[in-house]
Structure 1
Amino acid sequence: MSTLDPQRASGSGAQIVGGGVGEGPGPDVMSASTLDGDKVISADGEHVGKISDIMLDVRGGRIAYAVLSEGGFLGMGSTLHAIPWTALTLDTAEKCFRVDIAAQRIKDDPGFDKDHWPSMADSTWGTRLHEYYNRSPYWADTRAGAGNLAQRPGDDATGL
């Protein structure tokens, strides 16, 4: 597997590695439900949980986050963690996601539970999360020039 590049463009999405190509549309275009339940392996090789949800930036037309379910039993008592989509690599050979962060760092993140989700449209929350994973916020428009940020959906004067 190649080393993950934390400075890659924020709009480039998740990387794909491995030679696993099966029948159907994947791995470049896949249904979100295909990825639900995929295991996530940390940078130090530990199985840290499974993908439980994929969160879309509906207005921006992008994948914002994958939600990792860690611990618990049959979905009870598990801790959820939002992971920036750009912090993940889809490993088609192993049929899992890899995240470029140590398992203990994921465990140290307090996360949230299924009944108390954060406001994922809040740019302050999103910026802190992306910094934790050493990524630029997905809504940053790095192609338009230094210091120029694309307006994030929901950040306009109307609040829409």
Structure 2
Amino acid sequence: MGRYDDSYDANRSETDETTNLISSEKVDGTAVYSHDGDKVGHIHHFMVGKRNGHVEYAVMTCGGILGMGEEYRPVPWDALEYDTDLGGYVINIEKERIGQTPSYARDQEPTWDRSWGSTIYSSYGLPY
């Protein structure tokens, strides 16, 4: 049985979490908290490097009501730490600074280039 075995059963249960790995399907929607435990948003999706396969950003949604007025905030993956007690990710900056990090509206997708990446990382105090 190889990786591309024709007998693959699409209905079988797949492992979506191990000690060190988690399925992206399970992370989407996970809450993001400030250091003081206040919920500040949730993970909407990831931006993954095409060539290296590493998650570079978790895009967090903040604000809005029923999807109206939501902001999308790319957060460097290294700026998040999973907290098992909270069942979500804790962001590594003060809650007051989150509103000062780069964001975009649903209909205004940014250019995901080096300049944008540098701006995002520096807003979290991380090297790009």
Say yes or no: TM over 0.5: yes
Return the match for 1:111 from 103, 106, 125. 103
Distance 2:94 2:48 in 1: 25
Instruction: Specify every segment of 5 or more residues in structure 2 that has no aligned partner in the other structure, as ranges.
Output: 1-14
One-letter amino acid of the structure 2 residue matched with residue 109 of structure 1: T
Larger Rg: 2
Relative to the length of structure 2, the TM-score reads 0.81
Write out per-residue CA displacement over residues 8-36 of structure 1, whole angstroms, 9 at most, x where no aligned residue.
xxxxxxxxxxxxxxx85334111111011
Residue 133 (structure 1) aligned with residue 124 (structure 2): yes
Q: In the alignment, is residue 53 of structure 1 matched against residue 45 of structure 2?
A: yes
Task: Report the equivalent of 1:156.
Answer: none
Is this contact kept in 1: 2:32–2:88, CA < 8 A? yes
Aligned-partner SS, 1:113: coil
Name the counterpart of 1:69: 61
Uncovered stretches (5+) of structure 1, i.e. residues with no partner: 1-22, 138-160
**Alignment RMSD:** 1.7
Determine if contact 1:27/1:92 at 8 Å carries over to the other structure. no
Question: 2:81: which partner in 1?
Answer: 89
| Identical counterparts, % of pairs | 33
| Offset at residue 110 of structure 1 (A) | 5.0
Matched, 1:99 2:84: no
Structure 1 runs (4+) greater than 3 angstroms displaced: none
